[in-house]
Amino acid sequence: MGVQSDKVLEVVSGWEAVKLVLKCAFIGLWQMIHLAVRRLWKGHRRKLSKNCPPVELTVDSSIGIHCYIKIMGVKYHYVETGPKCGKKVLILGDAPDSGDLWVPRWSSVVRRLAETGHHVITLDLRGTGGSEGGWRSDLSPPRAVEELRALLLALGASDKNPAIVIGFGIGGMLTWYLVHCHGSLVSKFAVVAAPHPNLYWQHPPAAFCQGSIHFIQWPHFPESWLAEGVLQEGTQWASSRARDWSGALNYVRGAAWYRVHAEHRVQARALLVGARDSAAQLVASAQYCASPALRLVTSPGPGDKDLPAMVLDFFLGKQKPPEEVSRGLVGRVLGAVADRGRELTARLALPANA
């Protein structure tokens, strides 16, 4: 890697920081004016939250047990599934949390991991669900990474017993920071719809940032406008509250001021999943991984029909069909020959992460 662990994150400073402040001020102002004109043109109607209640702790209790833990003075809520002595799996959802991690398709992944002896921790990010919120400085990458590291250690992960980490959207962005800064605690990881942090301005870290990434650096206004549905019309969050967005936006705001050292590479095996039109973004992100596997899906997220099989194949391997109970002598010989042929073919084939 050639980069010390304490030098992985670099703060944007000097003239680059001055240019960034000016861009956020002027381009953000232009984006705000554009949004205001569009709102006036279409006619502004405040969407009442009573028609679509905001998400709190909408978790199916049959999936696991609700738990709370205090890390570095911050209260986190999570749901644990599977044996506590099993290999740790940390799942970081997107923000704001819309309950997508509990759709039937993704719940089947959690159950399968638990059935194979994994201890699955589905964490509410700060400012979402039952976890405590925080200001912009509280959710900056260095602080967020240290809290996630402390959480993994408290749950039993270590250099000798590294965890699996799966991140979606904002949670995927945090996964990138975690594996870069504390890679020894992670054996494998998957990021879904989460560009590498160094691609922040070319590929914003969340869908709601599209066309408004500079404006989001402004205080107060983005939360209010997102809650009113101005920036994400037609989505399930059109009737959310401003405070539902504080965690997501403060994570995004903090990420704008930090970069990962250009020469640092993640050594853990990586599964990078994106939309079918994001191949260029995945390839650019893969350059920061020593062993990446790239996959494209229709709708990257917990509800995608192809994602569960991809995740389980990557972390558990392809599941073999049950063997016949009795095959006879000739059948066993032919089966052994076929198995040997598959083994030789696998050695000649390209690896899955090529």
8 Å CB contact between 119 and 85 = yes
Give the list of residues 6+ apart from residue 80 with CB closer than 8 angstroms, or none.
64, 65, 67, 119, 120, 121, 122
SS3 168: strand
Longest dimension (CA), the chain: 80
Q: Which of 312, 3, 315, 318 lies closest to 163, judged by CA?
A: 315
Separation between Cα atoms, residue 105 and residue 143, nearest integer Å: 32
The DSSP secondary structure of 257-320, one letter per residue, reads TEEE-TT--B-SEEEEEEETT-HHHHHHHHTTBSSEEEEEESS-STT-SSHHHHHHHHHH-PPP
Give the pLDDT score at 176.
97
The larger pLDDT score, comparing residue 6 to residue 97, is at 97
H or E element: which one contains 167?
Answer: strand 163-168
Q: What is the domain partition of the chain in residue ranges? A: 5-316
Rounded to an integer, the average pLDDT of 15-28 is 91
CATH number of 5-316: 3.40.50.1820
**pLDDT category, 231, cuts 50, 70, 90?**
low
Q: Which two three-digit tokens encode residue 345?
A: 């073919």
Q: On the CB side of 68, how many CA atoms lie within 13 Å of its CA?
A: 9
Query: What whole-number percentage of the chain has pLDDT above 90?
Result: 53
**Strand order across the beta sheet in which 292-297 lies:** 65-71, 74-81, 118-123, 87-92, 163-168, 186-192, 269-275, 292-297
Residue 336 has pLDDT above 60, yes or no: no
pLDDT band for position 7 (50/70/90)? confident
59 close to 15: Cβ distance less than 8 angstroms: no
First-to-last CA distance in the chain? 20
Count CB-CB contacts under 10 A for residue 18. Answer: 11
Q: So what's the pLDDT on residue 220?
A: 84
Spatial distance between the Cα atoms of 25 and 23, rounded to a whole number of angstroms = 5
252 and 216 Cβ atoms separated by less than 8 Å:
yes
| Per-residue pLDDT at 100 | 76
Using alpha carbons, list the distances in angstroms from residue 175 to 115, 125, 241.
24, 12, 26
In the block, tokens 């861009």 appear at: 23
**For residues 94-120, average pLDDT:** 88
Q: Which of 244-248, 255-259, 275-279 has the lowest mean pLDDT?
A: 244-248
pLDDT range class, residue 18, cuts 50, 70, 90: very high
Q: What are phi and psi of 172, to 5 degrees?
A: -70, -40
As a whole number, mean pLDDT of residues 26-45 equals 76
Which residues, including other chains, have CB under 8 Å from residue 117's CB and lie 6 or more apart?
82, 83, 86, 87
Q: Average pLDDT over the chain, rounded to whole?
A: 82
Give the residue from 247, 226, 246, 248 showing the smallest Cα distance to 237: 226
Question: Is the confidence at residue 350, as pLDDT, over 90?
Answer: no
Q: For residues 125-135, give the mean pLDDT.
A: 88
